[in-house]
C-alpha cells in the first residue's frame, strides 16, 4: 500500500491523515450502564469465534457510537470488554456483495459479486472454509433468502447452515444458535449469525414497536409520511409488500421508531446470547465480532428507508471486536478500517495464516495501540453504479453509470463528488469543483486500486421465483 506518497508530494500532511494517533477514551453513554465483559485472568486458550452481522445497522444508532436516545446496552457491553472501531466502512451498501467481502477479505472488484442475485465463486476462500480446514466446527444462520447457499454460495465451509426462514426474527435465530452451541460449544467452533430485523419492513415485536413512539401513527391530521412518499423509489412503493407495511400509517416518526425499536430488540437478543455464553463458561474463551453489512438512509439526502448510494449512513457500520485475553479493553479506535479487515484479524488471533490474495489488513496493530499508516477505504454500489474512496477526512464518489434509481439522487456517468467529512460530516457541500489537487490524488488512487483487482469469476446463483419476488419486495431490482 503506497497511498501516502501522493500526500507527501502535495505537502498536505492532513489530506488523508492527521498524522496523529486516532484513539480516544471511550465515553459512557448517559442512558446506559453496561456491565463489562469479564476477561480471563489466566491464559485460557481461545476456543470459539462468533461473527455477527446485523443487516442494515448503521453505526450512529448505537449508544456506544454516540446516539443519545437509542438503548443498546448489550452492544455497549461488548465494546466495554473489547475495541470499538469508530470509522468502520463496509465494502458495499448491498447485502450479498458486502457479506462476500466480510467472508473473503476481498473487495467487490475482486470477488465480482455486485448484486444480491449473484454468488461468490469457488476460487474465493471463505473464513468458514479456513476455520473448517483447521478443525473448527462451523455453523451459519442467515435470515434473507439471497444469503442462502444456493444463491450466494456463502455456505462454503459451513457444516451446519440454517437457511433463511422468511425474515426469521432475532429471538428464534438466537434460540437456534444456542441449540447448536449446547451440542458443539465444547469443541473449537466458528459461528456466523445474521440478523435481519432492522431491514425494511422495520417490524420489531412488542414492546419494542412502542419503545420509542407513544403517539397515534394513523392520525389523519399527520402528514409527514405523505410528504416524503414521492421521494421513495417507485419499485418499493409500488410493491404490495411495502404498501401493506405502511398501510394507514401517516406519521414518518413511527417508521423511524420502528427502526430504532428493532435496533434495541436485536441488542437485547444479542444480550441473551452473551448471557448464555457466560453461563456456559464460553464467554471468556470466545472471540466475538459484531458488525453490519451496510447501514440505512433514514432521510439523509432525501433518501428514506433504503441503503441506496454510498453516503455515510449507508456505509459507516459498527465494528466491535472482543478478543478474550488479548490486551486492551474499552478502547475506541478512530482510524478508518474496513469490513475486509475482519478476516485477517480473527485469523491472526487464532494463529491461522491468512489466505493468499486477501486484501484486508489485520487490525491487531491498532488493537495494540500502534500508530498505523492512514488507509483509504474502497466501497462500491450494487450494479457497478458508484465507487467511493473514503479517508479519515474525505469522501470521493465517482458515479459510473447513468441511473435514476433514487428520485432524490440521480446518477450521471462520470460525475464526481467530494466531501470534507471533518468540516461537513453530513456530506452537504460537494467540493468536487473546488479542490482540484485533492481530486487529482483521488483519481490517481482509484486508478491504482483498479489496477490491483483480482477480478475472480462469480459462482452460479440458483434463483427461485420466490427468492426473486422477495428481493423485489425488499426493494431490489434485477
- Using the minimum distance from each CB to Zn ion, give the nearer residue, 293 or 392: 293
Residue showing the smallest CB distance to Zn ion in the complex? 95
Min dist CB 56 to Zn ion, Å, is 5
* Residue number, 265 or 394, with CB nearest to Zn ion: 265
CA atoms within 13 Å, Cβ hemisphere of 247: 8
Dmax of the chain from CA atoms? Answer: 63
CA–CA separation, 263 and 468 (whole Å): 27
CA–CA separation, 78 vs 288, rounded Å? Answer: 8
Which is closer to Zn ion, CB of 55 or CB of 335?
A: 55
Min. distance of Cβ 91 from Zn ion in angstroms? 12
Q: How far is the CB of 58 from Zn ion (least distance, A)?
A: 11
Closest CA to 89 of 302, 306, 313: 313
CB-nearer residue toward Zn ion: 95 or 306 = 95
Query: What's the min distance (Å) between Cβ of 446 and Zn ion?
Result: 25
Q: Which stretch binds Zn ion (CB under 5 A): 2-10, 54-62, 101-109, 255-263?
A: 54-62
**What residues numbered 69-108 form the site for Zn ion, per CB under 5 A?**
95
Please say whether the beta carbons of 259 and 266 come within 8 A: no
When the beta carbons of 32 and 52 are compared against Zn ion, the nearer one is 52
Smallest gap, in angstroms, from Cβ of residue 293 to Zn ion? 4
When computed from its CA atoms, the radius of gyration of the chain, rounded to whole angstroms, is 21
* Closer by beta carbon to Zn ion, 95 or else 385: 95
C-alpha grid cell, residue 254: 413511527
Q: In 17-35, which positions are buried (b, 16+ CB within 10 angstroms) versus exposed (e)?
A: beeeebbeebeebeebebb
Q: Which is nearer to Zn ion, 55 or 76 (CB)?
A: 55
Query: What is the smallest separation between the CB atom of 200 and Zn ion, expressed in angstroms?
Result: 10
Tell me the closest approach of the beta carbon of residue 230 to Zn ion, in angstroms. Answer: 25
Shortest Cβ distance from residue 152 to Zn ion (Å)? 12
Binding mask 406-445 for Zn ion (x = CB under 5 A): ----------------------------------------
* 56 vs 112, beta carbon nearer Zn ion: 56
Pick 95 or 339: Cβ nearer Zn ion: 95
For the bound state, the minimum distance from the C-beta of residue 294 to Zn ion, rounded and expressed in Å, comes to 5
Between CA 461 and CA 152 the distance in angstroms is 6
Stretch that binds Zn ion, among 5-13, 293-301, 308-316, 437-445 (CB under 5 A): 293-301
The smaller minimum CB distance to Zn ion, of residues 147 and 333, is found at: 147
Work out whether 197 is an interface residue with Zn ion (CB under 5 A). no
The residue range among 55-63, 152-160, 178-186, 401-409 that interacts with Zn ion, by the rule CB under 5 A, is 55-63
Binder of Zn ion out of 48, 55, 128, 189 (CB under 5 A): 55
Min. distance of Cβ 197 from Zn ion in angstroms? 12
293 binds Zn ion (CB under 5 A): yes
Residue 196: name the closest of 172, 176, 169 by CA: 169
CB-nearer residue toward Zn ion: 74 or 196: 196
Cα(256)–Cα(266) distance, integer angstroms: 16
- Nearest distance, CB of residue 95 and Zn ion, angstroms: 3
Site for Zn ion, residues 153 to 182, rule: CB under 5 A: none
**What is the size of the binding site for Zn ion (CB under 5 A)?**
3
Nearer to Zn ion, 293 or 335 (CB): 293
Q: How many angstroms separate the first and last alpha carbons of the chain?
A: 35
Residues forming contacts to Zn ion in the complex (CB under 5 A) are 55, 95, 293
Amino acid at each position: 500500500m503506497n497511498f501516502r506518497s501522493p500526500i507527501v508530494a502535495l505537502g498536505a500532511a492532513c489530506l488523508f491523515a492527521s498524522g496523529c494517533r486516532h484513539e480516544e477514551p471511550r465515553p459512557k453513554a448517559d442512558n446506559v450502564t453496561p456491565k463489562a465483559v469479564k476477561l480471563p485472568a489466566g491464559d485460557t486458550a481461545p476456543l470459539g469465534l462468533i461473527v455477527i452481522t446485523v443487516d442494515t445497522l448503521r453505526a450512529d444508532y448505537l449508544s456506544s457510537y454516540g446516539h443519545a436516545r437509542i438503548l443498546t446496552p448489550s452492544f455497549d457491553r461488548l465494546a466495554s470488554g473489547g475495541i470499538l472501531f469508530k470509522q468502520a466502512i463496509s465494502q458495499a451498501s448491498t447485502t450479498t456483495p458486502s457479506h462476500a467481502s466480510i467472508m473473503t477479505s476481498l473487495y467487490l472488484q475482486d470477488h465480482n459479486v455486485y448484486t444480491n442475485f449473484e454468488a461468490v465463486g469457488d476460487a474465493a476462500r471463505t473464513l468458514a472454509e479456513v476455520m473448517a480446514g483447521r478443525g473448527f466446527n462451523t455453523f451459519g444462520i442467515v435470515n434473507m433468502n439471497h444469503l442462502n447457499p444456493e444463491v450466494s454460495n456463502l455456505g462454503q465451509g459451513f457444516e451446519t447452515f440454517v437457511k433463511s426462514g422468511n425474515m426469521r426474527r432475532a429471538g428464534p435465530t438466537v434460540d437456534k444458535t444456542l441449540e447448536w452451541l449446547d451440542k458443539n460449544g465444547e469443541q473449537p467452533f466458528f459461528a456466523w449469525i445474521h440478523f435481519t430485523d432492522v431491514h425494511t419492513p422495520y417490524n420489531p415485536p412488542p414492546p419494542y414497536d412502542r419503545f420509542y413512539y407513544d403517539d397515534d401513527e394513523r392520525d389523519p391530521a399527520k402528514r409527514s409520511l405523505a410528504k416524503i412518499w414521492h421521494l421513495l423509489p417507485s419499485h418499493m412503493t409500488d410493491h404490495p409488500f411495502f404498501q401493506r407495511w405502511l398501510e394507514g400509517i401517516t406519521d414518518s416518526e413511527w417508521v423511524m421508531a420502528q427502526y430504532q425499536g428493532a435496533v434495541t430488540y436485536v441488542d437485547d437478543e444479542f444480550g441473551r446470547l452473551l448471557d448464555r455464553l457466560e453461563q456456559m463458561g464460553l464467554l471468556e474463551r470466545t472471540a466475538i465480532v459484531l458488525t453490519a453489512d451496510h447501514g440505512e438512509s433514514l432521510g439523509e439526502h432525501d433518501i428514506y428507508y433504503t441503503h441506496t448510494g454510498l453516503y455515510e449512513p449507508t456505509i459507516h457500520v459498527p465494528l466491535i471486536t472482543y478478543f478474550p485475553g488479548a490486551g486492551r479493553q474499552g478502547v475506541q479506535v478512530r482510524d478508518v478500517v474496513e469490513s475486509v479487515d475482519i478476516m485477517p484479524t480473527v485469523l491472526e488471533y487464532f494463529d491461522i495464516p491468512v489466505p493468499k490474495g486477501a486484501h484486508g489488513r489485520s487490525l491487531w496493530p491498532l488493537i495494540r495501540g500502534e500508530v498505523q499508516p492512514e488507509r483509504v477505504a474502497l466501497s462500491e454500489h450494487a450494479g457497478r453504479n458508484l465507487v467511493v474512496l473514503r479517508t479519515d477526512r474525505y469522501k470521493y464518489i465517482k458515479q459510473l453509470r447513468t441511473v435514476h434509481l433514487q428520485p432524490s439522487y440521480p446518477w450521471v456517468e462520470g460525475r464526481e463528488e467530494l466531501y470534507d467529512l471533518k468540516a461537513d460530516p453530513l456530506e452537504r457541500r460537494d467540493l468536487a469543483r473546488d479542490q482540484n489537487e485533492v481530486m487529482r490524488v483521488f483519481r490517481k488512487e482509484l486508478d491504482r486500486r483498479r489496477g490491483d483487482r483480482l477480478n475472480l469469476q462469480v459462482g452460479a446463483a440458483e434463483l427461485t421465483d420466490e427468492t426473486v419476488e422477495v428481493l423485489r419486495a425488499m426493494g431490489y431490482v434485477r
